[in-house]
Amino acid sequence: MSGLPLSVEASIGYAVARADGSSVDDLLQLADMAMHVAKNVLSGVALYDPSQNHYDASQLTLVAELRHAIASDQLVLHCQPKIDLRKHRSMAELGHQLGLGVVAEAVETQMKLSVVASTGCDVVQGYHFARPMPLDQVKQWLATASSVTFQRERRYAAEMFRVTNERFEELAAEAIATLPTTLASRMDNVVILVEDEAQGRSLFGLYEGIPLTKRGLQSYSGVMPDRITLYQSTICQVCSTEEEVRAQVRTTVIHEIAHHFGISDPRLEELGWA
């Protein structure tokens, strides 16, 4: 190996006493599982997660129950309808140039429908239209779906609301200033940034960092601030006035702050903030 440059990296796994196990042997075994997870995902450090333990009793039981269900024909097929958006299409350049249909999944709100419609998607699928259902219910859904109309309530890229970067940042600051003080006071080590748009994705905002619920008193130190990024072009694309920009920024910031507090997207959907 003489003369060859080498890169040495370490993977660390750890488990918590009482929460994960009580004996030294158990903790060492669980920490070893976490170490292999850290190695596989290249994260460096990983805390033991019971859901990743394929030898856990609940996991083994689930596998056995699934095999029994397959053998005894207990599985039920659920179908989730897709909605054709081609009557609303603009151009989804790359996919269409390759001769492909463009499908958007996980469309769960009118806001998300507005965004994907503006990008030129041909077909959408999501809870905004229908949840997965047994095949016999699909016929009933199709019988009533023809009466569903999809209105484009917002302006899109060709006629998007125009605002300078400086003015957008002012509107964002005004929206953030209206947040409850109790919410703002509990935020820790987080910055809010403005960028034009997310590369390859249609997002109003994005949270990146370590949620408060996953920060340890000893392990969380010397880290870069969490980032909440607002995407100006995407937000302006669905707005027609400064007041709408201000309102959309406020909604987006609250959504991303919720992630900072450890609240998941499914829970936000239940609360009406998806």
DSSP string across 36-76: HHHHHHT-SEEE--GGG-TTSHHHHHHHHHHHHHHHTT---
**Residue 132: per-residue pLDDT:** 79
Measured over the CA atoms of residue 251, residue 235, residue 208 and residue 165, the dihedral's sign is: negative
**Segment 14-19 long-range contacts (CB within 8 Å, at least 24 positions apart):** 14/45, 14/46, 14/47, 14/48, 15/47, 15/48, 16/47, 16/48
The tens-digit pLDDT sequence of the chain (274 residues) is 566 777 777 888 888 876 666 677 777 877 888 887 777 777 778 887 877 766 666 666 777 788 888 888 888 887 766 655 444 444 466 676 677 777 877 777 766 776 676 666 777 777 777 777 787 787 777 766 644 434 333 334 335 678 888 999 998 888 888 888 888 888 889 999 999 888 777 788 999 999 998 888 777 888 899 999 999 988 888 888 888 888 889 889 988 999 999 998 888 877 776 6
pTM higher than 0.85: no
> Computed from CA positions of residues 3, 44, 258, 200, in that sequence, does the dihedral angle turn out positive or negative?
positive
Residues 6+ apart with CB under 8 A from 184: 176
Contact residues for 150 (Cβ-Cβ < 8 A; gap 6+): 83, 85, 88, 113, 117
Longest dimension (CA), the chain: 75
Local structure of 15: helix, strand or coil:
coil
pLDDT (0 to 100) of residue 37 = 79
The pLDDT assigned to 206 comes to 92
Distance CA 92, CA 118 (A): 9
Distance separating alpha carbons of residues 148 and 121, to the nearest angstrom: 18
Domains of the chain, first to last? 12-70 (no CATH), 78-153 (no CATH), 158-211+223-271 (3.30.2010.20)
HSE-up of residue 265 (Cα within 13 Å, Cβ side): 8
pLDDT for 153: 39
Give the number of residues written for the chain: 274
- Phi and psi of 98, rounded to 5°? -85, 0
Convert 199-248 into a string of H (helix), E (strand) and C (coil).
Answer: CCCCCCEEEECCCHHHCCCCCCCCCCCEEEEEEHHHHHHCCCCHHHHHHH
